[in-house]
């Protein structure tokens, strides 16, 4: 700046002086009359002043432009000829391979930070999230299909899969990529919550929660509309049980399985009511133990329309370790307003029928 302030006056001295811009012209005077004023033409001088002003204006613009370039050169962002960038020069060079000090250092640190952040972001985005997506399908009155999809799991190590129903484990799988399960033994018209948990390498991952409502009982019926006298059925069932106990020596250790009687109807409401009435009568006598079927088998029996076959009844008895199986039929007597109940008792161990009983129930 000091040098610049010194150069401006020096350069100004080099500019043409006033004498260089116009010629001195003596004013013309009228000598005829002494009382008339002198007339002087200043147009040439005026023109010279304008030229001088324009030259000065161009000089100042030149000086200002040079000053700006001088200051800018100290913080220029690039160099076209340097092989090494010093602390006053640019961040990068077209031919340079190194940088040092000043603005160059600042830019290098910024670039490094940006590169590091970009690398970190790339590294994080490359990590695959481990996820389990659970869904359900085809719910029935007592079951529902559960399906799940794995994402991000390698299954290269020991993996444990747990299926939860209303917060309790209903099934576990180890070291296998199982993706489906049928949840059974559910209650009609009931909502259930399910989710899947995966344990891998000491970490636990939980799926989304799926809520499923089972369908209503397709074999439900109105007891008052099944067509038989229920109070008479209960009374006659107690008589049948008493007769059986007099025929067979039963004890507390005697286990009796009572299956649905066969009625030949799709819903089998009459056959189920006979089995329920006999079960209640045996329990009231308190002389033996009644075997309870799992819900799943009860559903199978309902859908089959009852059990009338000897071999099938005996198979049920063996499956549930019963000593006796009570089975039979209920059928309408032709041209009469009543139904005949035919009851048979099988000794499961001996595989033979030990007694046959029958009773009649009025039509309602």
- Quick one: pLDDT at residue 303? 87
Token duo for residue 322: 């019963």
A 10 A CB-CB count for 207 gives 20
Per-residue pLDDT of the chain (364 residues; tens, 9 = 90+): 545 555 555 555 555 554 444 444 445 444 454 444 444 555 566 556 656 666 665 656 655 555 545 444 444 444 444 444 444 444 444 444 444 344 344 334 444 454 455 555 555 555 678 899 999 998 998 899 999 998 888 776 678 899 999 999 999 988 778 899 999 989 999 999 999 999 988 889 999 999 999 999 888 899 989 999 999 999 999 999 999 999 998 888 999 999 999 999 989 999 999 999 999 999 999 999 999 998 888 888 988 899 999 999 999 999 999 999 999 999 999 888 999 999 999 999 999 999 999 999 999 8
Angstrom distance (rounded) from CA 97 to CA 191: 72
Q: Are strands 210-213 and 191-200 parallel, antiparallel or unpaired?
A: antiparallel
Query: Which DSSP symbol is given to 224?
Result: G
Query: Which DSSP symbol is given to 285?
Result: H
Angstrom distance (rounded) from CA 21 to CA 165: 107
| Residue 98 parent element (H or E) | strand 98-99
Q: Is 0.85 surpassed by the pTM of this model?
A: no
CB burial readout 280-307, b (16+ within 10 A) else e? bbbeeeebbbebebeeeebbebbeebbb
Angstrom distance (rounded) from CA 80 to CA 95: 7
Token duo for residue 256: 């009796």
Within 13 Å, how many C-alpha atoms sit on residue 178's CB side? Answer: 18
Closest listed residue to residue 303, CA positions, set 339, 325, 271, 346: 271
Query: Which DSSP symbol is given to 73?
Result: G
Contacts of 227 (CB under 8 A, 6+ apart): 270, 363, 364
In the chain, the N- to C-terminal Cα span, in Å, equals: 123
Q: Specify whether the CB–CB gap between 28 and 41 falls below 8 A.
A: yes
Break the chain down into helix, strand, coil percent, rounded to 5: 35, 25, 35
């Amino acid at each position: 700046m000091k040098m610049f302030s010194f150069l401006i006056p020096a350069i100004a001295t080099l500019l043409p002086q006033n004498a260089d811009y116009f010629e001195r012209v003596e004013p013309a005077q009228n000598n005829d009359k002494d009382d008339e004023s002198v007339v002087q033409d200043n147009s040439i001088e005026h023109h010279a002043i304008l030229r001088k002003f324009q030259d000065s204006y161009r000089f100042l613009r030149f000086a200002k432009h040079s000053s700006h370039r001088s200051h800018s050169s100290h913080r220029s962002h690039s160099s076209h000829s340097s092989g090494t960038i010093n602390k006053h020069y640019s961040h990068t060079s077209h031919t340079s391979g190194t940088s040092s000090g000043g603005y160059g250092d600042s830019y290098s640190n910024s670039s490094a930070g940006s590169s590091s952040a970009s690398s970190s972001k790339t590294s994080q985005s490359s990590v695959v999230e481990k996820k389990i997506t659970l869904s359900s399908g085809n719910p029935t009155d007592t079951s529902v299909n559960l399906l799940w999809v794995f994402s991000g799991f390698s299954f290269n190590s020991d993996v444990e899969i747990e299926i939860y129903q209303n917060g309790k484990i209903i099934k576990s799988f180890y070291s296998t990529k199982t993706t489906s399960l049928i949840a059974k033994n559910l209650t009609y018209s009931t909502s259930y919550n399910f989710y899947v948990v995966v344990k891998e390498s000491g970490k636990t991952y939980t799926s989304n929660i799926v809520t499923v409502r089972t369908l209503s009982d397709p074999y439900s019926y109105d007891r008052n509309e099944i067509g038989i006298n229920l109070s008479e059925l209960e009374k006659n069932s107690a008589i049948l049980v008493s007769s059986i106990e007099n025929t067979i020596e039963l004890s507390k250790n005697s286990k009796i399985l009572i299956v649905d009687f066969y009625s030949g109807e799709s819903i089998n409401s009459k056959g189920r009511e006979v089995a329920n009435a006999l079960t209640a009568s045996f329990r009231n006598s308190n002389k033996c133990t009644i075997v309870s079927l799992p819900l799943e088998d009860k559903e199978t029996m309902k859908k089959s329309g009852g059990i009338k076959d000897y071999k099938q009844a005996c198979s049920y008895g063996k499956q549930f370790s019963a000593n006796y199986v009570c089975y039979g039929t209920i059928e309408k007597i032709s041209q009469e307003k009543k139904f005949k109940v035919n009851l048979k008792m099988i000794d499961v161990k001996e595989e033979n029928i030990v007694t046959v009983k029958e009773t009649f129930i009025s039509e309602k």
